[in-house]
């Protein structure tokens, strides 16, 4: 969960998000080194009156400033491609959930169960319980078991939406007539918040996403209770 004046990312709750955080730090250090080097060269050129005649026309330095950027790009591209393939890999999901975007709410269908589906609306400010988060709480949460591969099939019924939960490292567009899929594993129990990340109309800001990760036994009890009340 984000907090006021936060500058960094939310705490990772999935292996993919942990990889993304590590890659962010890796790329940021490279950017810092490049910025420091460029700043030093600019200051040196502006402040000194001396000129080195071997730098004005040098084959060696041209080779260096051609090869060095290529090496830096490779150091960024290889871990980036690795994470892209990790995010796209789906191995035997334990639970499959279909998330449908509507104007302006989400509906969830647990395809492994019969008649386990519900709509998820934002809780109005006046109906919030003490400790609830404004514009983020929903009347029905998407409950999942922790430490289990989860597959989410994302689509929309009317306009473009985007199903995004930052702490899980998940963001998938919901396109009408198209079924996209994403996967994640939640490593710890907790409640994780997200929002629609595609401008979808007047109430775009009022269709939050709440994912609650619980132990497997609690998930089975929850699913049984929902099916009994359906």
Per residue in 78-124, pLDDT (tens digit) is 999 999 998 888 888 999 999 999 998 999 999 988 889 999 999 99
Assess contact for 144 and 186: CB atoms under 8 A.
yes
The SS3 of residue 159 is coil
Residue 2 located in a structural domain: no
What whole-number distance in Å separates Cα of residue 115 and Cα of residue 121? Answer: 19
| Single residue among 88, 118, 138 that ends a domain in this structure | 88
What whole-number distance in Å separates Cα of residue 8 and Cα of residue 14? Answer: 17
Residues 112 and 209 in one domain: yes
| Single residue among 56, 71, 88 that ends a domain in this structure | 88
Q: In what order do the strands lie in the sheet with 208-214?
A: 142-145, 208-214, 190-196, 161-165, 170-174
Residues 78 and 178 in one domain: no
Number of domains observed in the structure of the chain: 2
Assess contact for 195 and 120: CB atoms under 8 A.
no
Residue 185 located in a structural domain: yes
Assess contact for 156 and 176: CB atoms under 8 A.
yes
> How far apart, in Å, are the Cα atoms of 164 and each of 24, 73, 106, 182, 203?
18, 28, 12, 10, 17
Report residue 205 CA to chain centroid gap: 18
Residues 64 and 106 in one domain: no
Phi, psi angle pair for 142, to nearest 5°? -85, 105
Range of the structural domain that residue 159 is part of: 95-229
What pLDDT digit, counting tens, does each position of 25-66 carry?
999 999 999 999 999 989 988 888 777 766 667 788 888 889
Rounded to two decimals, the pTM is 0.85
What whole-number distance in Å separates Cα of residue 119 and Cα of residue 105? Answer: 7
Residues 62 and 130 in one domain: no
| Single residue among 65, 88, 111 that ends a domain in this structure | 88
């Amino acid at each position: 969960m984000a907090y006021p004046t936060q500058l960094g990312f939310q705490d990772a709750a999935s292996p993919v998000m942990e990889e993304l955080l590590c890659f962010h730090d890796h790329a940021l250090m490279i950017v810092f080194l490049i910025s420091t080097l460029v700043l030093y060269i600019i200051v040196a050129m502006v402040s000194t009156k001396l000129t080195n005649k071997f730098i004005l026309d040098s084959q060696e330095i041209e080779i260096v400033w051609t090869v060095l950027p290529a090496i830096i790009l490779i150091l960024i591209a290889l871990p980036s491609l690795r994470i892209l393939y990790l995010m796209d890999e789906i191995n035997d999901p334990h639970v499959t959930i279909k998330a449908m975007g509507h104007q302006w709410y989400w509906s969830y269908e647990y395809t492994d169960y019969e008649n386990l589906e519900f709509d998820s609306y934002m809780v109005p400010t006046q109906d919030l319980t003490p400790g609830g988060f404004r514009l983020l709480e929903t009347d029905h949460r998407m409950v999942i078991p922790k430490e289990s591969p989860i597959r989410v099939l994302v689509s929309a019924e009317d306009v473009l939406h985007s199903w995004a939960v930052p702490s899980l490292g998940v963001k998938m567009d919901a396109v009408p007539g198209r079924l996209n899929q994403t996967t994640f594993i939640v490593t710890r129990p907790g409640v994780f918040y997200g929002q629609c990340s595609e401008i979808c109309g007047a109430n775009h800001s009022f269709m939050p996403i709440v994912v609650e990760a619980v132990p497997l036994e609690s998930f089975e009890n929850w699913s049984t209770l929902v099916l009994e009340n359906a």
